[in-house]
């Protein structure tokens, strides 16, 4: 009978095998190498901005907001000026329309009675200026103003009172109808009402009175002429 006997490895081979086992580790284990460990990739957070940079950014942002607001106001003002100019142009005015501060209260009229006139038509001297015009003729604001009153006022009929920016009261009397309300702000050339015959009249007309500072009546023709609008 014969036996198969494994040959004993030489001493050098034994040393090499031992070295490989040390490097490979236990059977099935992954090789292990000395060196830096590896793991999931991470991104370091950005450094916080320096206080000076943060303050500068906020200042720039505030200025940008301020400029945006300024441009918005400028655009709104331009639109308002355009509407104002279009309104005055439609009434027949020309030239530097945005600079126009006073206009006549209506167009297509004839003067039928002046300030201070006397006679059987009035209980006392005439305190206004009468603009004769057909019933239904548009009446417009002679300047930027606030509507102080809209009411029937005895012989004055339906009266609208405007208070101008300097405190002057302007009366629109004998109206057929008023299209504004007390407390309302109106702009130059804006429609107020229509010529009528309410109150004591002999025909359709606007009786216009001007009361500086809300006081005694003054000659509307002289007042309008001083404002650059000769009736």
Number of domains within the chain: 2
Q: Is residue 24 part of a domain?
A: no
Question: 49-69, pLDDT tens digit by residue?
Answer: 666 677 788 888 888 888 888
The verdict on 122 and 151 lying in the same domain is yes
The verdict on 116 and 95 lying in the same domain is no
Q: Is residue 45 part of a domain?
A: no
The verdict on 94 and 132 lying in the same domain is no
8-12, 18-22, 53-57, 205-209 — which one is most confidently predicted on average?
Answer: 205-209
**Is the dihedral angle over the CA atoms 106, 107, 112, 114 positive or is it negative?**
positive
Q: Is residue 2 part of a domain?
A: no
The verdict on 168 and 80 lying in the same domain is no
The verdict on 86 and 163 lying in the same domain is no
Q: Is residue 7 part of a domain?
A: no
Q: What is the pTM of this model?
A: 0.68
β-sheet bridge partners, residue 169: 163, 211
Contact present, 154 and 199 (Cβ < 8 Å)? yes
CATH number of residue 213's parent domain: 2.70.70.10
The verdict on 119 and 162 lying in the same domain is yes
β-sheet bridge partners, residue 63: none
- Whole domain around residue 163: which residue ranges? 110-226
């Amino acid at each position: 009978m014969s036996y198969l006997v494994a040959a004993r490895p030489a001493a050098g081979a034994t040393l090499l095998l031992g070295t490989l086992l040390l490097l490979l580790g236990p059977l099935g284990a992954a090789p292990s190498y000395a060196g830096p460990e590896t793991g999931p990739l991470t991104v370091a957070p950005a450094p916080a901005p320096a206080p000076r940079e943060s303050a500068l950014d906020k200042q720039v942002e505030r200025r940008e907001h301020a400029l945006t607001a300024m441009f918005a106001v400028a655009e709104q003002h331009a639109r308002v000026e355009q509407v104002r100019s279009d309104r005055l142009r439609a009434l027949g005015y020309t030239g530097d329309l945005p600079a126009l501060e006073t206009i006549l209260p209506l167009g297509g009229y004839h003067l039928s009675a002046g300030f201070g006139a006397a006679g059987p038509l009035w209980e006392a001297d005439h305190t206004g200026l009468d603009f004769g015009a057909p019933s239904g003729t548009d009446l417009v604001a002679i300047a930027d103003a606030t509507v102080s009153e809209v009411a029937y006022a005895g012989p004055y009929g339906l009266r609208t009172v405007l208070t101008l920016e300097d405190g002057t009261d302007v009366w629109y009397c004998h109206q057929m109808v008023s299209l504004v309300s007390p407390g309302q702000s109106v702009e130059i050339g804006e429609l107020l009402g229509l010529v009528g015959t309410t109150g004591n009249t002999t025909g359709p007309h606007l009786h216009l009175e001007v009361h500086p500072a809300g006081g005694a009546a003054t000659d509307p023709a002289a007042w309008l002429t001083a404002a650059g609008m000769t009736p």
